[in-house]
Chain A
Amino acid sequence: MSSDHHAHNPGFISKYVFSLDHKVIGVQYTVTSLIFLFFGFSLMMIMRWQLAYPGESIPLVGGWLGKYLVDNNGVLLPEGYNALGAMHGTIMVFLGVVPLAVGGFGNYVMPLQIGAPDMAFPKLNMASYWVYFLGGVTMLAGFFVPGGAANSGWTSYPPLADIANTVGTHPFWNGQTVWLLGMVLLITSSLLGSVNFIVTIMHLRVKGLTMFRLPFFVWAQFVTSFLLLLAFPPLEAAGVLQLMDRAFHTSFFMPEGLVVSGVVQDQFAGGGSPLLWQHLFWFLAHPEVYVLILPAIGIVGEIIANNTRRPLWGYKTLVYSVIFLGFMSFVVWAHHMFLTGMGTAMSTFFQTTTMIISIPSVVILTALLLSLWQGSIRFTVPMLFALSFLPMFAIGGLTGLPLGLSASDIQLHDTYYVIGHFHYVVAPGTIMALLGGIYFWYPKVTGRKMSTFLGHLHFWPSFVFMNTVFFPMFMVGLAGISRRLWDQTEYVQGIDVQGWVRMSSWGAWALGLAQIPFIINFFYSAFAGKKVNENPWKATTLEWAAPSPPPHGNFAEVPVAYRGPYEYSVPDAKEDFHPQHVPDSQLV
């Protein structure tokens, strides 16, 4: 399947741009998505100014943002705020974290960990990246079309999204329509990628690598791919339906008799249901949460096993929990919709499934914590990131409980409490884990290690400021402040919590500064980092058997897996790690 492109000697373009090599594609995904992450974060740094100092001109960049975002004085407009918010959410989720966690880490590491020379379908792999790239460019194009970027939230609820950006703009070339086109491309890319991952893991494992000898990270990618494959199609369909509503005035999501700004919307026949969109959207978007988190948990597992020098606690328990989590994630979606008019029977079902899904999450966290017990913990930079993931992911998970019980959700739904909750999962949680993953596998990709000093300079402030940004949001939410408000001081409660809001904003700007050491480290170490051998962390899984960086085709000779993935500190052995590919006879 994948041997057809190994023969010829490719030129620069086909080697680095339109490459079929999973490693090059992985690096392309990583770099592109890191840029998007930083861009999406920058949008938020701008929004945080308006929240901290409502109605004041944005310093530094205020004059640059253009008429759709700011007024003549450089003050963020309410519709500009909404556009930045919608684009922040979309970019972070669909252009940042998923492509980094799956397209980047999955592409680069997974085939190496299963001993494969490449992905099962290299051309599909390349197509997946380029469709993603096109989707990203389309999304960003939204900022430049008449009327500005999509501003109906990353959730794009109709009827708002059906009628948004339509007055005085181009019928097709407008923010929300461009957003939908971008989404269709991004979903297509994910579907191409996930099929490829599933087939690769099923068919390209080397001899001896049974399913229960797979590294935990591969399991995480495997389950993630199924989630993408099964959850995304409904949203793709929904996106096309919304496109039809907007472009051709079908009424999939439009009831009849709407009056917008005094104008009867009789261009729509009516008879559709706005809630249909929400069901289709959340049927994707809840599993999507696990798409954001599972690869991160996988990375944390790898780093913890390596740096505690002992096997992951309860490997099989972990695997079964992840499978169960994946399965359950398809039956909790309507916990995002308790307040759409749901009766007791439905809400009972969805709160019960939500409480059930919390159990495998607790089990996973417990297993990772128990892995520390009687380990011999090395505080390397990747380990610091992986360790910090544990308490912050715990906060994210725990604060999901009051939102998952419909009664407490009455007060907390659609407030900053929600923003605090899911960011603890995806930012202090997932982002920290992904950063740890970069420090961990960097030597494999470049043959050099990243600077430890700069790593510490990156880790400590990031850890502190992540909490400074997000913890205050719980107080703001409990006080009853709705999310997505351009100016929360409209409300008395908002005035009261303004101190917390400012703290959060200053935290965000400081968090931005804290990324400077990382950016320097990332580029500088590529040519000036300390050269290391192919297994600098003394790790056990197969990617460390390949040269660093691995050549085209990955392994000098096809490895065989002789044992499970985490044979660290085997009793009576001389070395404290037994790599998967070394036969018993050669172990010392």
Chain B
Amino acid sequence: MIASSFWLPPDISAHGSQIDIIIKYLHWFMAVLFVAWGSYFLYCLVRFRAGANPKATYRDAKAKPSKMAEVVVIIIEAILLVGFSIPVWAYYRSEPPGNDANPLTVRVVAQQFAWNIHYPGPDGKFGKSKPELVDEAINPIGLVDASEDPNAADDYVSVNIFHAPKDRDILVRLSSKDVIHSFAVPLLRVKQDAVPGMEIPIWFKAEKTNAEAQEMMKRAFALPASPEGEEAETFVKENRLRVTMADYGSVRKGSTLNAEHLKTLSAAGITSVELAPGFPVNIQCAQLCGLGHYRMKGQMKIYEPDEFEEWYASAGEEEVFDEDEFDDE
């Protein structure tokens, strides 16, 4: 369900296809080389086994084809390097944002083991923050009071949920409060280390909303034969996924599949169910950062641009944090 091709997750970013192309070309190149070498290798093992060739030849074989092959390898590597990797990297690391006049700028402050997404609010200016003001419960990034810095008045900090519009450049100023983390969003083909003491800019543009990403990732699953027992338990546990088919009784579209659902479906004689991840676009930490490294997980919520504006306008007011919704992805 997750993989698109070459086992890669689906790509929902503007620049990702360029990275995928390099990965694909490279793997084809590697496969061709390996098969060529491998066939030659196996041929030698059979043709020149002692039984078939009792007397070895002292002189080195002339190796025109292998010299040719080496030259071809060099040329292909040079093309991939100069024609693909360097320009793609230059684009990825270029002065952000690419060409969008109106980027959304956010600060992302990584910490053990969470992602703090700091929005500047309507004024577009970030308030200052200070280490000594950090309070893990209410002020994780140590934002100063509005009386000290008016820019802070309308700032908004979201923990672990990165709200973002699609089709708009998003400029992230990435830093860390404690140790090195790495901000990785596989579906967006983005990865960047968050190094304490540095603020590193990266940018990207999403071309799909969460709903569209879910659509790309949904897949039909055959239900276990019996709704009870070990097999069913494993099925539920290993497919913490959202139901994407139309409502069926208590089995609501968008809810997380559970044991009750299995019973309902099985009683109705339904044998397969369509599922997709509840939160398809996750943020992982890619750099070992301590014992909670594995669960340093965030989620992107990518909206249509107008939906995003709606959310952003009301962001400061209600701090709804739907534990449940977040937890079961």
Q: Would you call B286 and A151 a contact (CB within 8 A)?
A: no
Q: At the interface, yes or no: A362 with Cβ under 8 Å from chain B?
A: yes
- Known contacts A82-B293, A264-B131, A377-B48; A313 and B61 CB within 8 A of each other: yes
Kindly state whether residue B192 has any CB partner on chain A within 8 Å. yes
A389 to B179, CA, bound (A): 39
Which B residues lie within 8 Å of A339 (CB)?
182, 191-193
Inter-subunit contact B191/A273 (CB<8 Å): no
Interface size on B, residues (CB 8 A): 102
Q: Are A411 and B293 in contact (CB under 8 A)?
A: no
Contact partners of B252 in chain A: CB under 8 A: none
Least CB distance, B289 to chain A, in whole angstroms:
6
- The answer on a CB contact under 8 Å between B240 and A495 is yes
Partner of A351, one of B54, B66, B86, B135: B86
Asked if residues B182 and A408 are in contact (CB atoms below 8 Å), the reply is: no
Q: A377-B45, A391-B38, A489-B238 are in contact. Are A482 and B284 (CB under 8 A)?
A: yes
Known contacts being A160-B180, A411-B191, is A366 close to B9, with CB within 8 Å? no
Within the complex, what minimum Cβ distance (angstroms) separates A291 from chain B?
Answer: 24
Given A157-B287, A310-B56, A370-B61, answer yes or no on A493-B70 (Cβ-Cβ < 8 Å). no
B3 interface hit (Cβ, 8 Å): yes
Binary flags per residue of B107-118, CB closer than 8 Å to A gives 1, else 0: 000011000000
Residues of A within 8 Å of B241, CB to CB, are 492
Q: Report if A72 contacts B (CB, 8 A).
A: no
How far is B282's CA from A480's CA once the two chains are assembled, in angstroms? 11
Interface centre among A308, A408, A487, A496 (most CB of B within 10 A): A408
In the bound assembly, the distance between CA atoms of A383 and B38 in angstroms comes to 17
CB within 8 Å for A493 and B186 given contacts A273-B197, A311-B60, A568-B58? yes
Interface residue A274 (Cβ < 8 Å from any Cβ of B) = yes
In the complex the two chains form, what is the Cα distance from A377 to B240 in whole Å?
54
- The 8 A CB mask of A401-439 against B (1 = contact, 0 = none) is 110011110111111000000000000000000000000
Closest beta carbon of chain B to A388's beta carbon, Å: 11
Q: Which residue of A lies closest to B26 (CB)?
A: A402
A407 touches B66 (CB 8 A): no
Q: CA–CA, A111 to B232, complex, Å?
A: 64
Per-position contact with A for B238-272: 1 when CB-CB < 8 Å, else 0? 11110000000000000000000000000000000
- For residue A234, CB closer than 8 A to chain B, the reply is no
Chain B residues within an 8 Å CB radius of A569: 55-58
Residues of B within 8 Å of A387, CB to CB, are 45
B residues 265-295 with Cβ under 8 Å of A?
A: 277, 279-280, 282, 284-295
Decide if A373 touches B48 in the complex (CB within 8 Å).
yes
Of the listed stretches A19-27, A342-350, A533-541, name the one at the interface; the rest are far from the partner chain. Answer: A342-350
Give the nearest-CB partner of A264 in chain B: B131
The answer to whether B60 touches A314, judged by C-beta atoms less than 8 angstroms apart, is yes
Q: For B86, what are the chain A residues with a Cβ–Cβ distance below 8 Å?
A: 344, 347-348, 351, 407
Which B residue's beta carbon lies closest to that of A499?
Answer: B238
Q: A355 to B196, Cβ gap below 8 A?
A: no
B200 neighbours in A (Cβ, 8 Å): 341
In whole angstroms, how far apart are the Cα atoms of A463 and B100 in the complex? 53
Whether the Cβ atoms of B38 and A374 lie closer than 8 Å is no
Q: Which of A180-220 contact B (CB under 8 A)?
A: none
A344 to B112, CA, bound (A): 30
Asked if B103 is an interface residue, CB under 8 A from chain A, the answer is no
* Contact between B193 and A341, CB atoms less than 8 A apart: yes
Q: List B170-214 residues whose CB lies under 8 Å from chain A.
A: 177-180, 182, 184, 186-187, 189-193, 195-198, 200
Distance of A257 Cα from B177 Cα, bound (Å): 8
A71 at the interface (CB under 8 A from B): no
Residue contact A264 to B132, C-beta cutoff 8 Å: yes
Residues of chain A at interface, number, CB under 8 A: 103
What residues on A are CB-neighbors of B329 within 8 Å? Answer: 492
B74 and A407: CB pair below 8 A? Answer: no
| A352 and B80 alpha carbons, distance in the complex (Å) | 11
Contact yes or no, A344 B93, CB < 8 A: yes
Bound CA–CA A484/B289 (angstroms): 10
- Measured CA separation A405–B289 after assembly (Å): 25
Interface-forming stretch among A35-43, A392-400, A454-462?
Answer: A392-400
**A390 interface residue (CB < 8 Å to B):** yes
Contact A352 B30 (CB under 8 A): no
* Chain A residues positioned under 8 Å from B311 (CB to CB): none
**Of listed B27, B89, B184, residue having the most chain A CB within 10 A:** B89
Indicate whether A258 reaches chain B with its CB closer than 8 angstroms. Answer: yes
A63: interface (CB < 8 Å): no
Contact among A260, A275, A374, A568 for B195, CB-based, below 8 A: A275
Which of B30, B48, B81, B135 interacts with A376 by CB under 8 Å? B48
Q: Is A510 an interface residue (CB 8 A)?
A: no
Q: A308-B56, A347-B86, A480-B186 are in contact. List 11 more A-B contacts (CB 8 A).
A: A157-B179, A160-B289, A308-B48, A366-B70, A372-B45, A394-B37, A407-B19, A410-B191, A411-B20, A484-B294, A492-B241
In the A-B complex, the 5 residue pairs with the closest CB atoms: A255-B197, A480-B186, A374-B57, A407-B88, A405-B85
Interface residues of A (CB under 8 A from B): 77-79, 82, 151-153, 157-160, 163-164, 255-262, 264, 270, 273-275, 308-311, 313-314, 339-344, 347-348, 351-352, 355, 358-359, 362-363, 365-366, 369-370, 372-379, 387, 390-391, 394-395, 398-399, 401-402, 405-408, 410-415, 474-475, 478-480, 482, 484-493, 495-498, 568-571, 576
Query: Can you name 15 A-B residue pairings with CB atoms under 8 Å?
Result: A82-B291, A82-B293, A153-B288, A264-B131, A270-B197, A274-B180, A275-B195, A339-B193, A362-B70, A375-B44, A391-B38, A398-B33, A479-B7, A491-B297, A495-B240
